[in-house]
Amino acid sequence: MSVGVFLQQQLIGLWQDYRNWWLRVCRWQRGLSDLLAGRATQERTDALRSLRVAGAIAVLTVFLYTAGHFLPEGYDWKCCFSQRLFPSFYVPWTLPLVSLLNLPLLFTISVLGLGLRLRRYHAPLWIMALAFVSLPTLWLLFLGTIDGFALIVLVLLPIGVPLVLIKPQLASFALLANRRSLFVTIVWVLLSFIVWGLWPLGFIGIGDANWRAGWPQDISLFPWGLLVALPLMWLSRGDEDMLMAAGSFGTPHLFPYHFVVLMPALARMDKFWAILSWVFAWTPLLANYFGPMAWHFGNLTSVSLWLGLYFRRRALATEAGRVAADVANRREHTGVTKIAS
């Protein structure tokens, strides 16, 4: 396939995404008109349901924003984000975005993002409880860092690509699940080079000896982890959560709280793997007893999350195959019966 044909296919796909979005907007507008006119239609029912969800989110947003004013300032917020100071490895469009934030709003975005991802996976209450009281989530909220953006914008792909790249340690691997998201990523990065220059050069110092000495809680296995990450990513094709779990082995920068983007995935696996993954997410605290090397126990979270998602997907595929075989057998039996009669 030539580059021109590939680009044409991706542009057509993006146009179709836009048309589908616009059709949903038009359908919602018709439903709102039917609601105001008192007409009983399916569009009216859908619009009413959307209004209820939007109202609940609005009330929750006000509550969270108010609660956020009572939070103590976390280290990252106090030393960096509130001062508009960023290390060189942050993408250049971080500053204009974070300039619009305060700590209560950041708290609101983080909690809402986690909640929306959990709702998307129809998570039961006990999974929601595990996700919210996991070490990555509590650590994120305690620090006052901006990883919560990745949670909420994963729902908005491919539109949310620039925001995903602000905290790309794990979320960027989700962009590989969809060719359109990958296409938008490539286009955005090329445009960013024109605007901000070769900004990836600021990443050069990540992972060197000085970095490791200053950040012992960085549990990245790069570059040797690529030997594990690449085959697992091949087996994870098309699945955002599996790609992020696999990519965690190969990312050059990984703190234990970066696993917050994978906490909603607990809803997609069997109870055993969900609980095991939640327990492993707490293992970096063993560094308090066994020294800095124990931070790397956090990599067990990657193993458990990926295996839990893999076994669940395989079980669903087996069940789908069994159902398809049953349907085919019933159709064949029906055809034989008709011929015999």
DSSP character string of 267-326? GGS-HHHHHHHHHHTTGGGGHHHH-GGGGGGGHHHHHHHHHHHHHHHHHHHHHHHHHHHH
Domains identified in the chain, total number = 2
* d(C-alpha 80, C-alpha 97), whole Å: 14
Say whether both 25 and 84 belong to one domain: no
Token pair belonging to 243: 């790609």
More confident residue, 37 or 256: 256
Q: What is the mean pLDDT of the chain?
A: 85
Say whether both 190 and 51 belong to one domain: no
- What lies within 8 Å, CB to CB, of 170 at 6+ separation is 150, 244, 247, 248, 251, 254, 258, 259, 261, 262
User: Is residue 51 classed exposed, middle or buried when 0-12, 13-18 and 19+ CB atoms within 10 A define those classes?
Assistant: middle
Say whether both 154 and 13 belong to one domain: no
224-268 pLDDT per residue, tens: 999 999 999 999 999 999 999 999 999 988 999 999 999 999 999
Say whether both 10 and 119 belong to one domain: no
Weakest-pLDDT range from 36-45, 131-140, 187-196, 263-272: 36-45
Residue 296 has pLDDT above 70, yes or no: yes
Say whether both 55 and 110 belong to one domain: no
Q: Which of 85-99, 113-127, 168-182 has the highest mean pLDDT?
A: 113-127
Say whether both 6 and 85 belong to one domain: no
| DSSP conformation letters of 30-76 | HHHHHHHHT---HHHHHHHHHHHHHHHHHHHHHHHHHHHTTSPPPHH
**For the chain, first and last CA: distance in Å?**
52
* d(C-alpha 176, C-alpha 199), whole Å: 22
> What is this structure's pTM?
0.87
Residue 200 has pLDDT above 70, yes or no: yes
Token pair belonging to 103: 């700590």
Cα dihedral: 207, 211, 216, 222 (round 10):
0
Q: Which amino acid is at 245?
A: A
Say whether both 150 and 9 belong to one domain: no
Which residue range is the domain that position 50 belongs to? 1-35+43-70
* d(C-alpha 153, C-alpha 109), whole Å: 10
Say whether both 61 and 132 belong to one domain: no
Q: Within 13 A of 16's CA, how many CA atoms are on the CB side?
A: 7
User: Is residue 317 classed exposed, middle or buried when 0-12, 13-18 and 19+ CB atoms within 10 A define those classes?
Assistant: exposed
61-70 pLDDT per residue, tens: 999 999 988 8
Say whether both 229 and 177 belong to one domain: yes
Say whether both 28 and 143 belong to one domain: no
The pLDDT of residue 312 is: 94
Q: Place 32 in a pLDDT band, splitting at 50, 70 and 90.
A: confident
Say whether both 86 and 29 belong to one domain: no
3-state DSSP helix/strand/coil % of the chain, to nearest 5? 75, 0, 25
Say whether both 26 and 156 belong to one domain: no
Residues 218-230: b if buried by 16+ CB within 10 A, e if exposed: bbbbbeebbebbe
Residue 144 has pLDDT above 70, yes or no: yes
Q: Place 60 in a pLDDT band, splitting at 50, 70 and 90.
A: very high
